[in-house]
A = this chain, B = another copy of it.
Amino acid sequence: MNKLKLLAVQETRQRLAQNGLKVTPQRVVILETIMQMKNHPTVEQIYERVSADHPNISLATIYKVMATFVEKGMVQTMLTSNDIKMYEPNLEPHFHIYYTDSNSIEDYFDDELSDMLNNYFRKKNIANLNISDIRVHILAKSTA
């Protein structure tokens, strides 16, 4: 294991601990794996990828660990345009473009939009509403 990888694992362990979770090898591997998968993985895909290196980690564990991560707010769930549940491990503010013709999803980073929305809701100040996140899905056909 090289230095870079060691560092990543170190950060992963810290992140688990910070969220009040016991640092088990399974959780480390799963969190590492999903952080590297940039394409909003499904349970199936996570299991496939994790199994490749760690055939002893069971599917039930993937389910349980992912549920725990969601509960802790470390990842989010969303539907693919095919209506399959998938995970979003990237917690940096960003949005999603759903391509309805190809059934694919792309991350869309746009600070200007983030600011605009945040300002709008700050000004609007909806009564009794404590906003924790604003998610935007753009449905589009690519006309390339």
- Once A135-B136, A136-B136, A137-B134 are accepted as A-B contacts, the answer to whether A142 and B129 lie under 8 Å apart by CB is yes
- How many chain A residues sit at the interface, stated as a range, is 20 to 34
Cβ-based interface call for A1 (8 A):
no
- Identify which of B79, B120, B132 contacts A140 (C-beta below 8 A): B132
Closest to A77 in B: B83
Quickly give the copy total for this chain: 2
A residues at B contact (CB < 8 Å): 70, 77-79, 83, 85, 97, 100, 113, 116-117, 120-121, 128-144
Contact sample, A vs B, 18 pairs, CB 8 Å cutoff: A77-B83, A78-B79, A79-B79, A83-B85, A97-B129, A100-B132, A113-B120, A116-B120, A121-B138, A128-B142, A129-B138, A129-B143, A130-B140, A130-B143, A132-B139, A134-B136, A134-B138, A135-B137
6 nearest CB pairs, A to B: A133-B139, A135-B137, A128-B144, A130-B141, A130-B143, A131-B140
